[in-house]
Amino acid sequence: MCSACQWAEEKKTLDWDARAAELDVLLDKARAETKSGYDCIVPVSGGKDGSYVAYKLKHEKGMNPLCVTITPPTPTSLGRKNLEAFMASGFDLLSFDIDPEKLRILNLAGLEEMGFPYYGWLVAIQALPLRIASSMGIPLVVYGEDGEVEYGGDPENKHRAVYTAEYMKRVYLEGGYSAVLQKSGMSPQELTPFEFPEDDQLADVSITHWSYFENWDPYRNYLVAKEKCGLIDAEDTNEGTFTNFAQNDQEIYALHTYLMYLKFGFGRANQDACIEIRRGALTREQGLNLVRIYDGKLAEGALEKFAGYYGVTTENLRNIIDRWANTELFEQREGQWIPRFALS
């Protein structure tokens, strides 16, 4: 039984009222200690989860959040529309656009070193909100969910409300932070958007996840963001899955989930089906059928498009991807990775 399913069962026994009281203490402290008009930062993309957290903080908790977005490497028009709708629903937004060439270089280094297609952007969405909080005297940064706890991974923080930049580097950045920055070949000045503040600069900044304080439900978040923040669905299902309301802000997420599939035999449809099964919206058999139909798919022409983004040939990109394929789970036939396993 995976850690995500274990956590889904454990959540049924948690004292959520006690955790809500912890949140109130944390928010009161932030209101008292802020050195600006903003008492917390919420990283957002215009999607369901950040929008939900910002809405709850502002309209139910009386906070004055500064929302921060880092423009992704392959942004979509729908993502931009959702971000504009989110702002129009009543939020201040600080948008940070990194030099696309620097972001491309670091994303390619992350792909080669970690098998992670948008590693540079992931670093930025961890590091920059902390730099902004430190420099503006904003004492609290509130991310959405702890994916390690909610979706399967390292559960060490499941009973800890706040965490550190060291945890971000070790767990969310998979311990490859320093290696990827070094591999990029960029100077310290060029790497400024990707550098974390020093520990002493974060002494007065608390970092937390909203999912610690409230039973996390991505579909509920979607419904609230749609009603209150103007969230728009994709017109069709997203690549590699049966849903249309999550991860709509950047195209390269499809490559990320394809690599996830080749590494672990667990793709985007499997990820989504597990979430829906755990919240009781699908039976296991329904989930299996959807995974068989959708999982591990990458649209025709996608590799050529992504190779163009990275500035490499399609053959080079295929070679990088092939290095990350798990040959215990897949075998290559006529240039295609075919699963050795059957779902049951």
Q: What is the pLDDT of residue 318?
A: 96
Instruction: Spell 227-239 as b/e; 16+ CB within 10 A means b.
Output: ebbbbebeeeebb
pLDDT at 325: 97
- Tokens 């490859």 map to which residue? 176
Q: Which residues of the chain have pLDDT under 50?
A: none
Q: Give the pLDDT of residue 246.
A: 86
The model carries a pTM of: 0.95
Cβ 71 vs Cβ 277: under 8 Å: no
For residue 207, give every residue at least 6 positions away whose Cβ sits within 8 Å of its Cβ, in sequence order, or none.
Answer: 130, 141, 143, 162, 163, 164, 165, 168
Residues 6+ apart with CB under 8 A from 242: 269, 272, 273, 290, 293, 294
Nearest by Cα to 258 from 292, 297, 300, 294: 297
Alpha carbon distance 86, 228 (integer Å): 9
Torsion of CA 252, 255, 257, 259, to 10 degrees: -150
pLDDT at 1: 87
- CATH class of the region 3-219: alpha beta
- Amino acid of residue 332: Q
Cβ-contact 230, 88 below 8 angstroms: yes
178: three-class secondary structure by DSSP: helix
CB proximity list for 129: less than 8 A, separation 6 or greater: 41, 43, 68, 141
The closest alpha carbon to 100, from 207, 252, 294, belongs to: 252
Helices marked H in 56-213 — which ranges? Answer: 77-88, 100-114, 119-136, 147-150, 165-167, 177-184
Given this model, what pLDDT does residue 199 score?
Answer: 92
**Cα 244 from Cα 240, distance rounded (Å):** 11
CATH 3.40.50.620 residue ranges for the chain:
3-219
